Structure 1
Amino acid sequence: MGILDKAKDALGMDGKGDEASDKAKQMQDKAKDMVDQAGDAVDDKTGGKYAGHVDKAQDAAKSAIDKMDPK
């Protein structure tokens, strides 16, 4: 493998870029699911007392995840 091939691999120009992007998107979706699970756990432990604050924090976390570049 030549140096150009190695550079293309490093930049994701080897034809596998779509696969990596799909994997990154899946990871973002899983992270959002985890945010939901964490918020649900907090709501359960507090009896929903802080549900509004938890929802706001969940929305902020999901928005931050959406802003991440999936590449």
Structure 2
Amino acid sequence: MSVMDKLKQMLKGHEDQTGKGVDKAGDFVDERTQSKYSSQVDTAQDKLKDQLGRDQDQPPMA
């Protein structure tokens, strides 16, 4: 079982809280880097929320 699978299993049912945590972490990075990498941070936030919010049985969204 991969680390991502373990995380998904632990966070299942808490997608809202997970999304808030990802947003908060991204905001922290933006603040520390003076928004120098904000587009990359936003992309990473979206991808992470997609990965953690999706059920294991569902295929990835295109």
Pair in the same fold by TM > 0.5: yes
Aligned to 1:32: 19
Query: Which structure has the larger Rg?
Result: 1
* Structure 2 match to 1:21: none
Q: Which runs of 4+ in 1 moved over 2 A?
A: none
Provide the identity percentage.
Answer: 39
Counterpart Cα distance in 2 of 1:34 and 1:68 = 18
Q: Which residue of 2 aligns with 1:54?
A: 41
Higher helix share: 1
Structure showing greater relative contact order (alpha-carbon pairs closer than 8 Å, 6 or more residues apart): 2
The TM-score with structure 2 as length reference comes to 0.66
Matched, 1:42 2:29: yes
Structure 1 runs not aligned, ≥5 long: 1-23
Q: Distance in 2 between matches of 1:48 and 1:56?
A: 13
